[in-house]
Structure 1
Amino acid sequence: MRKNGVRVVSRTIGFVGAGRIGEPMVERLLAAGHRVRLYARRAEVRDRLVAAGAESVAQVRDIADSDVVISCLFSDDQIAAVLPAVVGAMASGTVLLSHTTGTPATLRGLRNFARDGAPAIVDAPFSGTADAVRAGELVVFLGGEPAHVAVAREVIGSYAGSIIDTGPACSALHVKLINNLLFAAIAQLTLNATEIAAAQNITESAMLDALALASAGSTAGRYIAARGGSAGFTASVEPFLRKDVAAVREALADSGADLSTLLSAAYTGPMHLRHHTTIENGSAS
Protein backbone atom coordinates (compact mmCIF):
# COMPACT_ATOMS: atom_id res chain seq x y z
CA MET A 1 0.00 0.00 0.00
CA ARG A 2 1.16 3.54 -0.74
CA LYS A 3 0.23 6.80 1.05
CA ASN A 4 1.54 10.24 0.10
CA GLY A 5 3.87 8.57 -2.38
CA VAL A 6 5.42 6.37 0.33
CA ARG A 7 5.07 2.61 0.53
CA VAL A 8 3.51 1.72 3.89
CA VAL A 9 5.22 -1.30 5.48
CA SER A 10 3.44 -3.18 8.26
CA ARG A 11 5.41 -2.71 11.48
CA THR A 12 5.13 -3.33 15.20
CA ILE A 13 4.39 0.04 16.81
CA GLY A 14 4.75 0.81 20.51
CA PHE A 15 2.39 3.61 21.56
CA VAL A 16 2.00 5.77 24.65
CA GLY A 17 -0.28 8.79 25.00
CA ALA A 18 -3.61 7.54 23.66
CA GLY A 19 -5.55 10.64 24.63
CA ARG A 20 -7.79 12.90 22.58
CA ILE A 21 -5.35 12.95 19.65
CA GLY A 22 -3.48 9.71 20.34
CA GLU A 23 -6.50 7.41 20.43
CA PRO A 24 -7.53 8.06 16.81
CA MET A 25 -3.86 7.75 15.83
CA VAL A 26 -3.86 4.20 17.20
CA GLU A 27 -7.11 3.47 15.37
CA ARG A 28 -5.59 4.63 12.08
CA LEU A 29 -2.40 2.63 12.68
CA LEU A 30 -4.44 -0.51 13.26
CA ALA A 31 -6.56 0.15 10.17
CA ALA A 32 -3.36 0.45 8.12
CA GLY A 33 -2.33 -3.04 9.19
CA HIS A 34 0.26 -2.20 11.84
CA ARG A 35 0.57 -4.22 15.03
CA VAL A 36 0.20 -1.79 17.96
CA ARG A 37 1.56 -2.50 21.45
CA LEU A 38 -0.22 0.00 23.67
CA TYR A 39 0.41 1.37 27.14
CA ALA A 40 -2.61 3.27 28.48
CA ARG A 41 -3.45 4.19 32.06
CA ARG A 42 -7.17 4.75 31.56
CA ALA A 43 -9.11 1.51 31.43
CA GLU A 44 -11.83 2.84 29.13
CA VAL A 45 -9.26 3.93 26.52
CA ARG A 46 -7.34 0.69 26.85
CA ASP A 47 -10.51 -1.41 26.49
CA ARG A 48 -11.67 0.47 23.38
CA LEU A 49 -8.34 0.12 21.63
CA VAL A 50 -7.83 -3.52 22.61
CA ALA A 51 -11.29 -4.20 21.15
CA ALA A 52 -10.07 -2.50 17.96
CA GLY A 53 -7.04 -4.80 17.80
CA ALA A 54 -4.30 -3.21 19.90
CA GLU A 55 -2.23 -5.28 22.34
CA SER A 56 -2.12 -3.89 25.88
CA VAL A 57 1.14 -4.03 27.85
CA ALA A 58 1.45 -3.89 31.63
CA GLN A 59 4.38 -1.48 31.90
CA VAL A 60 5.33 1.45 29.70
CA ARG A 61 8.83 0.06 29.13
CA ASP A 62 7.23 -2.92 27.38
CA ILE A 63 6.39 -0.80 24.32
CA ALA A 64 10.15 -0.50 23.67
CA ASP A 65 10.11 -3.97 22.11
CA SER A 66 8.80 -2.59 18.81
CA ASP A 67 10.07 -1.46 15.42
CA VAL A 68 8.93 2.11 16.09
CA VAL A 69 7.82 3.77 19.33
CA ILE A 70 5.33 6.64 19.10
CA SER A 71 4.86 9.02 22.01
CA CYS A 72 1.91 11.42 22.00
CA LEU A 73 2.36 12.88 25.48
CA PHE A 74 1.19 16.36 26.42
CA SER A 75 4.22 18.11 27.87
CA ASP A 76 7.91 18.07 28.78
CA ASP A 77 6.92 17.00 32.30
CA GLN A 78 5.16 13.93 30.95
CA ILE A 79 8.09 13.11 28.67
CA ALA A 80 10.46 13.30 31.64
CA ALA A 81 8.18 11.08 33.73
CA VAL A 82 7.38 8.42 31.11
CA LEU A 83 9.97 8.12 28.36
CA PRO A 84 13.28 7.49 30.21
CA ALA A 85 12.10 3.95 31.05
CA VAL A 86 11.14 3.39 27.41
CA VAL A 87 14.40 4.74 25.99
CA GLY A 88 16.36 2.66 28.49
CA ALA A 89 14.73 -0.49 27.14
CA MET A 90 14.93 0.36 23.43
CA ALA A 91 17.20 -1.66 21.17
CA SER A 92 19.69 0.13 18.97
CA GLY A 93 18.06 1.20 15.73
CA THR A 94 14.52 1.49 17.08
CA VAL A 95 13.01 4.82 16.13
CA LEU A 96 11.34 6.92 18.82
CA LEU A 97 8.88 9.35 17.28
CA SER A 98 7.76 12.15 19.65
CA HIS A 99 4.61 14.13 18.84
CA THR A 100 4.92 16.41 21.88
CA THR A 101 5.23 20.15 21.36
CA GLY A 102 7.88 20.70 24.02
CA THR A 103 11.46 21.90 24.26
CA PRO A 104 14.38 20.44 22.29
CA ALA A 105 16.43 20.20 25.51
CA THR A 106 13.99 17.71 27.00
CA LEU A 107 14.02 15.55 23.89
CA ARG A 108 17.82 15.62 23.64
CA GLY A 109 18.06 14.69 27.32
CA LEU A 110 16.45 11.32 26.63
CA ARG A 111 19.70 10.19 25.05
CA ASN A 112 21.20 10.02 28.54
CA PHE A 113 18.96 7.05 29.34
CA ALA A 114 19.88 4.92 26.32
CA ARG A 115 21.54 1.59 27.03
CA ASP A 116 23.22 1.15 23.61
CA GLY A 117 24.40 4.51 22.35
CA ALA A 118 22.07 7.24 21.14
CA PRO A 119 18.49 6.24 20.33
CA ALA A 120 17.03 7.19 16.96
CA ILE A 121 14.81 10.10 18.00
CA VAL A 122 12.59 11.95 15.52
CA ASP A 123 10.73 15.05 16.68
CA ALA A 124 7.28 15.04 15.07
CA PRO A 125 5.06 17.84 16.38
CA PHE A 126 1.79 18.23 14.51
CA SER A 127 -0.87 20.75 13.60
CA GLY A 128 -4.48 19.64 13.58
CA THR A 129 -7.29 18.09 15.56
CA ALA A 130 -8.62 14.65 16.40
CA ASP A 131 -10.98 14.98 13.44
CA ALA A 132 -7.97 15.61 11.18
CA VAL A 133 -6.38 12.41 12.49
CA ARG A 134 -9.55 10.42 11.82
CA ALA A 135 -9.69 11.82 8.28
CA GLY A 136 -5.99 11.09 7.66
CA GLU A 137 -5.36 14.82 7.19
CA LEU A 138 -3.05 15.71 10.11
CA VAL A 139 -0.10 18.00 9.33
CA VAL A 140 3.14 16.62 10.83
CA PHE A 141 6.62 18.16 10.91
CA LEU A 142 9.61 15.78 11.08
CA GLY A 143 13.12 16.54 12.30
CA GLY A 144 15.96 14.03 12.49
CA GLU A 145 18.43 11.92 10.57
CA PRO A 146 17.17 11.22 7.02
CA ALA A 147 17.04 7.44 7.48
CA HIS A 148 15.06 7.78 10.71
CA VAL A 149 12.73 10.39 9.22
CA ALA A 150 12.03 8.02 6.32
CA VAL A 151 10.86 5.34 8.76
CA ALA A 152 8.75 7.88 10.65
CA ARG A 153 7.21 9.10 7.40
CA GLU A 154 6.14 5.54 6.48
CA VAL A 155 4.39 5.04 9.81
CA ILE A 156 2.63 8.37 10.28
CA GLY A 157 1.35 8.18 6.73
CA SER A 158 -1.42 6.16 8.40
CA TYR A 159 -2.92 9.36 9.84
CA ALA A 160 -1.10 12.33 8.29
CA GLY A 161 -2.17 14.08 5.11
CA SER A 162 0.79 16.47 4.92
CA ILE A 163 4.28 15.57 6.15
CA ILE A 164 6.98 18.26 6.13
CA ASP A 165 10.65 17.37 6.60
CA THR A 166 12.20 20.34 8.41
CA GLY A 167 15.84 19.26 8.68
CA PRO A 168 18.01 17.93 11.52
CA ALA A 169 16.88 16.80 14.96
CA CYS A 170 14.73 19.33 16.84
CA SER A 171 14.19 21.53 13.77
CA ALA A 172 10.56 20.34 13.63
CA LEU A 173 10.05 21.44 17.23
CA HIS A 174 11.42 24.88 16.41
CA VAL A 175 9.07 25.16 13.41
CA LYS A 176 6.05 24.15 15.50
CA LEU A 177 6.94 26.42 18.43
CA ILE A 178 7.38 29.45 16.18
CA ASN A 179 4.10 28.58 14.47
CA ASN A 180 2.29 28.33 17.79
CA LEU A 181 3.70 31.62 19.04
CA LEU A 182 2.51 33.31 15.85
CA PHE A 183 -0.89 31.62 16.18
CA ALA A 184 -1.19 32.84 19.78
CA ALA A 185 -0.39 36.39 18.70
CA ILE A 186 -2.89 36.34 15.81
CA ALA A 187 -5.57 34.78 18.03
CA GLN A 188 -5.14 37.49 20.66
CA LEU A 189 -5.33 40.23 18.02
CA THR A 190 -8.46 38.64 16.54
CA LEU A 191 -10.10 38.42 19.95
CA ASN A 192 -9.21 42.07 20.54
CA ALA A 193 -10.82 42.93 17.19
CA THR A 194 -14.08 41.27 18.24
CA GLU A 195 -14.05 43.35 21.44
CA ILE A 196 -13.62 46.53 19.39
CA ALA A 197 -16.51 45.42 17.19
CA ALA A 198 -18.70 44.80 20.25
CA ALA A 199 -18.09 48.37 21.38
CA GLN A 200 -19.60 49.46 18.04
CA ASN A 201 -22.67 47.26 18.63
CA ILE A 202 -21.44 44.65 16.14
CA THR A 203 -22.04 41.10 17.27
CA GLU A 204 -19.10 38.76 17.60
CA SER A 205 -20.64 36.32 15.12
CA ALA A 206 -21.09 39.07 12.52
CA MET A 207 -17.48 40.17 12.93
CA LEU A 208 -16.19 36.62 12.64
CA ASP A 209 -18.37 36.02 9.56
CA ALA A 210 -16.84 39.12 7.98
CA LEU A 211 -13.30 38.05 8.86
CA ALA A 212 -13.89 34.64 7.32
CA LEU A 213 -14.15 36.35 3.92
CA ALA A 214 -12.20 39.58 4.36
CA SER A 215 -8.49 40.29 4.03
CA ALA A 216 -7.81 40.11 7.79
CA GLY A 217 -9.21 36.61 8.05
CA SER A 218 -6.99 33.87 9.47
CA THR A 219 -6.94 30.30 10.67
CA ALA A 220 -7.25 31.70 14.19
CA GLY A 221 -10.43 33.52 13.23
CA ARG A 222 -11.88 30.36 11.70
CA TYR A 223 -11.01 28.38 14.84
CA ILE A 224 -12.69 31.00 17.04
CA ALA A 225 -15.85 30.78 14.93
CA ALA A 226 -15.74 26.97 14.91
CA ARG A 227 -15.63 26.93 18.71
CA GLY A 228 -18.78 29.04 18.87
CA GLY A 229 -17.01 32.30 19.68
CA SER A 230 -14.35 33.69 21.97
CA ALA A 231 -15.51 31.98 25.19
CA GLY A 232 -15.46 28.47 23.73
CA PHE A 233 -12.22 29.08 21.88
CA THR A 234 -10.45 30.47 24.94
CA ALA A 235 -11.57 27.63 27.18
CA SER A 236 -10.39 25.10 24.59
CA VAL A 237 -6.97 26.42 23.60
CA GLU A 238 -5.74 28.73 26.36
CA PRO A 239 -4.01 26.04 28.49
CA PHE A 240 -2.28 24.55 25.45
CA LEU A 241 -1.09 27.91 24.12
CA ARG A 242 0.13 28.88 27.59
CA LYS A 243 2.32 25.77 27.60
CA ASP A 244 3.57 26.39 24.06
CA VAL A 245 4.41 30.07 24.60
CA ALA A 246 6.42 29.10 27.69
CA ALA A 247 8.17 26.37 25.68
CA VAL A 248 9.15 28.68 22.81
CA ARG A 249 10.59 31.20 25.27
CA GLU A 250 12.71 28.49 26.85
CA ALA A 251 13.72 26.88 23.56
CA LEU A 252 14.82 30.10 21.86
CA ALA A 253 16.07 32.06 24.87
CA ASP A 254 19.73 31.70 23.89
CA SER A 255 19.30 31.86 20.12
CA GLY A 256 19.62 35.62 19.78
CA ALA A 257 16.22 35.81 18.09
CA ASP A 258 14.10 38.83 18.99
CA LEU A 259 10.82 37.41 20.30
CA SER A 260 9.59 40.66 21.81
CA THR A 261 7.06 41.62 19.12
CA LEU A 262 5.32 38.25 18.96
CA LEU A 263 5.48 37.74 22.73
CA SER A 264 3.99 41.18 23.34
CA ALA A 265 1.07 40.35 21.05
CA ALA A 266 0.64 36.88 22.56
CA TYR A 267 0.53 38.30 26.07
CA THR A 268 -1.89 41.14 25.25
CA GLY A 269 -5.50 40.09 24.97
CA PRO A 270 -8.33 38.15 26.59
CA MET A 271 -6.33 34.92 26.92
CA HIS A 272 -3.94 34.67 29.86
CA LEU A 273 -0.81 33.18 28.30
CA ARG A 274 1.95 34.61 30.45
CA HIS A 275 2.17 31.80 32.98
CA HIS A 276 2.49 28.09 32.30
CA THR A 277 0.47 25.56 34.32
CA THR A 278 0.54 21.81 33.84
CA ILE A 279 -2.58 20.10 32.54
CA GLU A 280 -3.62 16.68 33.70
CA ASN A 281 -5.26 14.41 31.13
CA GLY A 282 -4.16 16.44 28.13
CA SER A 283 -3.09 14.28 25.23
CA ALA A 284 -1.55 11.77 27.62
CA SER A 285 -3.37 8.72 28.78
Structure 2
Amino acid sequence: MSATIGFVGAGRIGEPMVERLLTVGHRVRCYARRPEVRQRLSKAGAQPVDVLSDIATSDVVVSCLYSDAQVLDVLPEVVGAMDTRTVLVSHTTGTPGTLARLDAFSGTGQVAVVDAPFSGTPETVRAGRLVVYAGGEPEHVATARRVVAAYADPVITTGTRGSALRVKLLNNLLFAAFSQLTLAGLEAGRRLGIEDSALLEALAAGSGGATAGRYIADRGGAEAFATAVTPFLRKDLAACTDIAADDGVDLSVLLAAARSGPMRLGDDPNFEKEAVE
Protein backbone atom coordinates (compact mmCIF):
# COMPACT_ATOMS: atom_id res chain seq x y z
CA MET A 1 0.00 0.00 0.00
CA SER A 2 1.46 3.36 -1.03
CA ALA A 3 2.01 6.09 1.55
CA THR A 4 3.21 9.67 1.70
CA ILE A 5 6.77 9.73 3.01
CA GLY A 6 8.62 12.79 4.27
CA PHE A 7 12.38 12.41 3.88
CA VAL A 8 15.40 14.32 5.17
CA GLY A 9 19.03 13.36 4.73
CA ALA A 10 19.22 12.43 1.05
CA GLY A 11 22.97 11.92 0.97
CA ARG A 12 25.07 9.00 -0.20
CA ILE A 13 22.75 6.43 1.42
CA GLY A 14 19.58 8.52 1.66
CA GLU A 15 19.29 9.38 -2.03
CA PRO A 16 19.03 5.75 -3.20
CA MET A 17 16.54 5.17 -0.37
CA VAL A 18 14.32 7.87 -1.89
CA GLU A 19 14.70 6.29 -5.32
CA ARG A 20 13.59 2.90 -4.00
CA LEU A 21 10.62 4.42 -2.14
CA LEU A 22 9.49 6.03 -5.39
CA THR A 23 10.02 2.82 -7.36
CA VAL A 24 7.58 0.85 -5.18
CA GLY A 25 4.92 3.57 -5.48
CA HIS A 26 5.27 5.75 -2.40
CA ARG A 27 4.88 9.53 -2.68
CA VAL A 28 7.97 11.25 -1.29
CA ARG A 29 8.29 14.80 0.00
CA CYS A 30 11.98 15.50 0.35
CA TYR A 31 13.90 18.32 1.99
CA ALA A 32 17.40 18.90 0.58
CA ARG A 33 19.53 22.03 0.63
CA ARG A 34 21.78 21.32 -2.33
CA PRO A 35 20.20 22.34 -5.66
CA GLU A 36 21.72 19.41 -7.56
CA VAL A 37 20.20 16.92 -5.11
CA ARG A 38 16.80 18.62 -5.29
CA GLN A 39 17.00 18.48 -9.09
CA ARG A 40 17.89 14.79 -9.18
CA LEU A 41 15.16 13.86 -6.70
CA SER A 42 12.57 15.93 -8.54
CA LYS A 43 13.52 14.24 -11.80
CA ALA A 44 13.12 10.85 -10.11
CA GLY A 45 9.59 11.77 -9.04
CA ALA A 46 10.00 13.17 -5.52
CA GLN A 47 8.43 16.46 -4.43
CA PRO A 48 11.13 18.81 -3.07
CA VAL A 49 9.94 21.13 -0.30
CA ASP A 50 11.42 24.49 0.63
CA VAL A 51 10.53 24.41 4.33
CA LEU A 52 11.83 21.56 6.48
CA SER A 53 8.65 21.23 8.53
CA ASP A 54 6.66 20.54 5.34
CA ILE A 55 7.88 16.93 5.39
CA ALA A 56 6.05 16.47 8.71
CA THR A 57 2.64 16.39 6.96
CA SER A 58 3.25 12.80 5.87
CA ASP A 59 2.19 9.31 6.94
CA VAL A 60 5.79 8.46 7.83
CA VAL A 61 8.90 10.65 8.15
CA VAL A 62 12.23 9.01 7.34
CA SER A 63 15.42 10.64 8.60
CA CYS A 64 18.86 9.55 7.38
CA LEU A 65 21.21 11.95 9.20
CA TYR A 66 24.83 11.33 10.17
CA SER A 67 25.02 11.97 13.91
CA ASP A 68 23.24 12.82 17.14
CA ALA A 69 24.25 16.45 16.70
CA GLN A 70 22.50 16.59 13.34
CA VAL A 71 19.41 14.84 14.72
CA LEU A 72 19.09 17.52 17.41
CA ASP A 73 19.78 20.28 14.90
CA VAL A 74 17.29 19.14 12.25
CA LEU A 75 14.51 17.01 13.73
CA PRO A 76 12.99 19.20 16.49
CA GLU A 77 11.37 21.39 13.83
CA VAL A 78 9.96 18.31 12.12
CA VAL A 79 8.76 16.65 15.32
CA GLY A 80 7.02 19.85 16.40
CA ALA A 81 4.94 19.84 13.20
CA MET A 82 4.18 16.10 13.05
CA ASP A 83 0.66 14.75 13.40
CA THR A 84 0.14 12.35 16.31
CA ARG A 85 -0.41 9.53 13.81
CA THR A 86 2.85 10.14 11.95
CA VAL A 87 5.72 7.71 12.65
CA LEU A 88 9.31 8.95 12.59
CA VAL A 89 11.86 6.40 11.33
CA SER A 90 15.38 7.46 12.36
CA HIS A 91 18.23 5.74 10.51
CA THR A 92 20.96 7.58 12.45
CA THR A 93 23.43 5.48 14.43
CA GLY A 94 23.59 7.43 17.67
CA THR A 95 22.44 7.15 21.27
CA PRO A 96 18.96 6.28 22.58
CA GLY A 97 19.08 9.36 24.79
CA THR A 98 19.09 11.63 21.76
CA LEU A 99 15.81 10.17 20.48
CA ALA A 100 14.32 10.57 23.96
CA ARG A 101 15.20 14.28 23.86
CA LEU A 102 12.98 14.70 20.80
CA ASP A 103 9.93 14.00 22.97
CA ALA A 104 10.19 17.52 24.39
CA PHE A 105 9.42 18.98 20.96
CA SER A 106 6.26 16.93 20.42
CA GLY A 107 2.84 18.35 21.23
CA THR A 108 1.89 15.02 22.84
CA GLY A 109 5.06 14.70 24.94
CA GLN A 110 6.24 11.56 23.15
CA VAL A 111 7.25 10.98 19.54
CA ALA A 112 6.09 7.89 17.67
CA VAL A 113 9.65 7.04 16.71
CA VAL A 114 11.38 3.88 15.52
CA ASP A 115 15.14 3.76 15.88
CA ALA A 116 16.24 2.06 12.67
CA PRO A 117 20.03 2.08 12.26
CA PHE A 118 21.29 0.07 9.32
CA SER A 119 24.23 -1.86 7.95
CA GLY A 120 25.06 -1.63 4.27
CA THR A 121 26.07 0.53 1.34
CA PRO A 122 24.39 2.49 -1.46
CA GLU A 123 24.66 -0.67 -3.55
CA THR A 124 22.76 -2.76 -1.00
CA VAL A 125 20.09 -0.04 -0.81
CA ARG A 126 19.64 -0.14 -4.59
CA ALA A 127 19.44 -3.94 -4.46
CA GLY A 128 16.80 -3.80 -1.69
CA ARG A 129 19.14 -5.68 0.65
CA LEU A 130 20.01 -3.12 3.33
CA VAL A 131 20.05 -4.62 6.84
CA VAL A 132 17.86 -2.52 9.15
CA TYR A 133 17.42 -2.97 12.90
CA ALA A 134 14.12 -1.65 14.28
CA GLY A 135 13.20 -0.75 17.84
CA GLY A 136 9.95 0.78 19.09
CA GLU A 137 6.32 0.12 19.87
CA PRO A 138 5.05 -2.90 17.88
CA GLU A 139 2.54 -0.86 15.85
CA HIS A 140 5.18 1.75 15.00
CA VAL A 141 7.70 -0.92 14.00
CA ALA A 142 5.06 -2.54 11.79
CA THR A 143 4.53 0.79 10.02
CA ALA A 144 8.27 1.33 9.64
CA ARG A 145 8.74 -2.19 8.30
CA ARG A 146 6.19 -1.62 5.52
CA VAL A 147 8.06 1.52 4.43
CA VAL A 148 11.69 0.41 4.69
CA ALA A 149 10.84 -2.85 2.92
CA ALA A 150 11.34 -0.77 -0.23
CA TYR A 151 15.09 -0.95 0.33
CA ALA A 152 15.72 -3.27 3.31
CA ASP A 153 15.81 -7.03 3.73
CA PRO A 154 16.14 -8.23 6.42
CA VAL A 155 14.44 -5.89 8.90
CA ILE A 156 15.40 -7.20 12.34
CA THR A 157 13.05 -6.30 15.21
CA THR A 158 15.08 -5.79 18.40
CA GLY A 159 12.54 -4.71 21.06
CA THR A 160 11.52 -1.40 22.59
CA ARG A 161 12.62 2.07 21.49
CA GLY A 162 16.39 2.41 21.76
CA SER A 163 17.10 -1.32 21.52
CA ALA A 164 18.02 -1.18 17.84
CA LEU A 165 20.62 1.50 18.52
CA ARG A 166 22.15 -0.62 21.27
CA VAL A 167 22.28 -3.63 18.93
CA LYS A 168 23.87 -1.59 16.13
CA LEU A 169 26.43 0.03 18.42
CA LEU A 170 27.49 -3.35 19.80
CA ASN A 171 27.73 -4.63 16.23
CA ASN A 172 29.95 -1.68 15.28
CA LEU A 173 32.04 -2.06 18.43
CA LEU A 174 32.78 -5.67 17.51
CA PHE A 175 33.37 -4.70 13.88
CA ALA A 176 35.90 -2.10 14.99
CA ALA A 177 37.72 -4.68 17.13
CA PHE A 178 37.77 -7.26 14.33
CA SER A 179 38.96 -4.60 11.88
CA GLN A 180 41.84 -3.60 14.15
CA LEU A 181 42.89 -7.23 14.55
CA THR A 182 42.66 -7.92 10.82
CA LEU A 183 44.67 -4.81 9.93
CA ALA A 184 47.29 -5.76 12.52
CA GLY A 185 47.38 -9.25 11.00
CA LEU A 186 47.97 -7.76 7.55
CA GLU A 187 50.87 -5.71 8.96
CA ALA A 188 52.36 -8.86 10.48
CA GLY A 189 51.90 -10.66 7.16
CA ARG A 190 53.86 -8.00 5.31
CA ARG A 191 56.74 -8.38 7.75
CA LEU A 192 56.63 -12.10 7.04
CA GLY A 193 56.70 -11.51 3.30
CA ILE A 194 53.00 -12.22 2.65
CA GLU A 195 51.01 -10.02 0.27
CA ASP A 196 47.82 -8.50 1.69
CA SER A 197 45.76 -10.00 -1.13
CA ALA A 198 47.02 -13.52 -0.41
CA LEU A 199 46.32 -13.27 3.32
CA LEU A 200 42.86 -11.74 2.78
CA GLU A 201 41.98 -14.57 0.38
CA ALA A 202 43.19 -17.13 2.91
CA LEU A 203 41.25 -15.48 5.75
CA ALA A 204 38.09 -15.44 3.65
CA ALA A 205 38.25 -19.24 3.48
CA GLY A 206 39.84 -19.96 6.85
CA SER A 207 38.86 -19.99 10.50
CA GLY A 208 40.81 -16.82 11.30
CA GLY A 209 38.75 -14.65 9.01
CA ALA A 210 36.03 -12.16 9.91
CA THR A 211 33.63 -9.98 7.95
CA ALA A 212 36.15 -7.15 8.37
CA GLY A 213 38.50 -8.95 6.00
CA ARG A 214 35.89 -8.94 3.26
CA TYR A 215 35.25 -5.23 3.77
CA ILE A 216 38.98 -4.51 3.59
CA ALA A 217 39.26 -6.47 0.34
CA ASP A 218 36.16 -4.83 -1.15
CA ARG A 219 37.54 -1.36 -0.35
CA GLY A 220 40.74 -2.12 -2.23
CA GLY A 221 43.07 -2.68 0.68
CA ALA A 222 43.96 -1.63 4.21
CA GLU A 223 44.68 2.04 3.56
CA ALA A 224 41.49 2.74 1.59
CA PHE A 225 39.43 0.81 4.15
CA ALA A 226 40.86 2.71 7.12
CA THR A 227 40.32 6.06 5.41
CA ALA A 228 36.69 5.23 4.66
CA VAL A 229 35.59 3.80 8.01
CA THR A 230 37.66 5.63 10.63
CA PRO A 231 35.41 8.74 10.99
CA PHE A 232 32.29 6.60 11.34
CA LEU A 233 33.83 4.18 13.84
CA ARG A 234 35.22 7.02 15.96
CA LYS A 235 31.71 8.49 16.16
CA ASP A 236 30.17 5.13 17.03
CA LEU A 237 32.78 4.27 19.68
CA ALA A 238 32.07 7.62 21.33
CA ALA A 239 28.37 6.68 21.34
CA CYS A 240 29.25 3.30 22.89
CA THR A 241 31.09 5.13 25.67
CA ASP A 242 27.98 7.25 26.27
CA ILE A 243 25.55 4.33 26.46
CA ALA A 244 27.93 2.42 28.74
CA ALA A 245 27.85 5.38 31.14
CA ASP A 246 24.11 5.95 30.79
CA ASP A 247 23.18 2.27 31.23
CA GLY A 248 25.83 1.46 33.83
CA VAL A 249 27.37 -1.30 31.69
CA ASP A 250 31.09 -2.10 31.58
CA LEU A 251 32.24 -2.15 27.94
CA SER A 252 35.89 -1.47 28.75
CA VAL A 253 37.23 -4.75 27.35
CA LEU A 254 35.44 -4.30 24.03
CA LEU A 255 36.32 -0.61 23.81
CA ALA A 256 39.98 -1.32 24.51
CA ALA A 257 40.06 -3.96 21.75
CA ALA A 258 38.34 -1.60 19.32
CA ARG A 259 40.69 1.30 20.01
CA SER A 260 43.94 -0.67 19.92
CA GLY A 261 45.46 -1.18 16.49
CA PRO A 262 46.48 0.53 13.27
CA MET A 263 43.37 2.73 13.11
CA ARG A 264 43.51 5.60 15.60
CA LEU A 265 39.95 5.17 16.84
CA GLY A 266 40.60 6.75 20.20
CA ASP A 267 41.06 10.17 18.61
CA ASP A 268 38.53 13.02 18.76
CA PRO A 269 35.25 11.82 17.17
CA ASN A 270 33.98 15.36 16.49
CA PHE A 271 33.81 14.94 12.75
CA GLU A 272 30.64 16.20 11.13
CA LYS A 273 29.10 15.36 7.80
CA GLU A 274 26.88 17.92 6.08
CA ALA A 275 23.62 17.81 8.00
CA VAL A 276 21.01 17.96 5.26
CA GLU A 277 22.35 16.97 1.89
- 1:254 is paired with a residue whose SS is helix
Aligned: 1:118 with 2:110: yes
Q: TM-score, normalised by structure 1?
A: 0.95
CA distance in 2, matches of 1:107, 1:191: 34
- How far apart are 1:117 and its partner, in Å? 3.4
Give the aligned residue type for 2:65: L
Q: Structure 2 matches for 1:47-196, cutoff 5 A?
A: 47-196=39-188
21-30 vs 195-204, which moves further: 195-204
CA distance in 2, matches of 1:37, 1:18: 11
| Kept in 2: contact 1:99–1:125 (CA 8 A) | yes
| Kept in 2: contact 1:93–1:119 (CA 8 A) | no
- How far apart are 1:100 and its partner, in Å? 0.1
| Kept in 1: contact 2:244–2:250 (CA 8 A) | no
Question: For each residue in 1:156-208, what CA deviation from the matched residue of structure 2 results, as whole angstroms up to 9, or x when unmatched?
Answer: 00000101100000000000000000000000000000011111011111111
67-76 vs 257-266, which moves further: 257-266
* 4+ runs deviating over 4 angstroms: none
Counterpart among 36, 39, 47 of residue 31 in structure 2: 39
CA distance in 2, matches of 1:251, 1:32: 37
CA distance in 1, matches of 2:226, 2:52: 33
| Kept in 2: contact 1:92–1:117 (CA 8 A) | no
CA distance in 1, matches of 2:77, 2:28: 19
What is aligned with 1:260? 252
Question: For each residue in 1:2-52, what CA deviation from the matched residue of structure 2 results, as whole angstroms up to 9, or x when unmatched?
Answer: xxxxxxx20000000000000000000000100000000111111101100
| Kept in 2: contact 1:91–1:116 (CA 8 A) | no
RMSD of Structure 2 on Structure 1 (CA): 1.0
Q: TM-score, normalised by structure 2?
A: 0.98
- How far apart are 1:262 and its partner, in Å? 1.1
CA distance in 2, matches of 1:29, 1:252: 35
User: Identity over the aligned pairs, expressed in percent?
Assistant: 60
